[in-house]
Amino acid sequence: MDIEKIKEVKQRLSEAPKYDPDAAPVYDVLGIQKLLPHRPPFLMVDRITEVDSDSIVGIKTIGVNEYYFRGHFPTEPVVPGVLLVEAMAQVGGILVLRNVDEPEKYSTYFAKIDGFKFRRKVVPGDVVVFKLIITQPLEHSLVCMRGKAWVGNSVACEGDMVAQVIKNK
């Protein structure tokens, strides 16, 4: 990726997207389930609020009853960082699959996770806003994205991902 593209992506990810809970989502959970094979308890995104050709914004509201809080950690519940990465990947998967003919016939898989930084804890009651931008479009079944997750105006995590798009058997 060239220097200008890096600057553009960083600028587009510099501020938290504004989330309006009263606005109709682009995709609600039923629409998301038409694009992703994930199902509860491993569906990690509740709604998509914005999407265009190369970026997407998704929301996950963290409830106290999330299954992982029983063990992580019972007296001080914290969302595991790996699940934030998974949630971000699911949002990115929606962006990629919505532009594929017959998306229900494809799945996205991690090919690479790079440079992730975790900046703050995510706890019950938080609303996590994910924004991803495609940094290299789908080519030879691979697509590159950079993403950030915010709680309010604070960055929770950020990093780069490469996904592989594979036709289901």
- Active site positions, annotated: 72
CA distances from 21 to 25, 57, 69, 143 (A): 9, 13, 25, 30
Residue 110 and residue 156: Cα distance in Å, rounded?
21
Cis peptide before 73 (omega within 30 of 0): yes
Q: Is 35 exposed, middle or buried (0-12, 13-18, 19+ CB in 10 A)?
A: buried
